[in-house]
Amino acid sequence: MKRSLLPILYGLSVLAVSAGAGHTQSNNGSGKAPQLANTPNLIAPFAQAVAQVSADGSVISSKGIKSVSRPTIGQLCIELAGGIVVRTVPVVSVDWSESNGDGLLAYWRSTSSGCPGATRRTINIITYRLEGGVPVLTNEVGVVVVVP
């Protein structure tokens, strides 16, 4: 059965931070993915995982995310929690509230070659700033990532 992108787009458009304080949750057989410690849970009912990451690589809020790192300039590596595997194309967008500057770009790299020790649960995002119309790798870009 084919699924429509409408529920995913709707889920992305209504991302909201829950009122509860962020804390680590274990799966405990509940079927729910654990959260990163000290990040508010995101409400994204049609997504396996979601992350809001600031330009410095810190996680603002998440769902189903194990870790986030910036191994080199312009490379952002997001490790999904156990049981979540990237089987569809993640949706990536610049988070302008968490970025520095204009002319910013963020792209998903399907091979995850920029992430040391990448697995099928690793999402590699490349971030750029346009300087004179030329893309230059930068760590000045905050992103939102949704794994349908």
142 close to 129: Cβ distance less than 8 angstroms: no
Cα gap 10→86, rounded to integer Å: 20
105 or 24, which is more confident: 105
43 close to 56: Cβ distance less than 8 angstroms: no
1 or 12, which is more confident: 1
Q: Which helix (H) or strand (E) holds 11?
A: helix 6-13
pLDDT above 90 covers what percent of the chain? 58
Task: Quote the DSSP letter at residue 40.
Answer: P
**Per-residue pLDDT tens digits for 109-129:** 988 888 999 988 999 999 999
What pLDDT sits at residue 45? 83
Strands 134-137 and 143-147: what pairing? unpaired
pTM score above 0.75: no
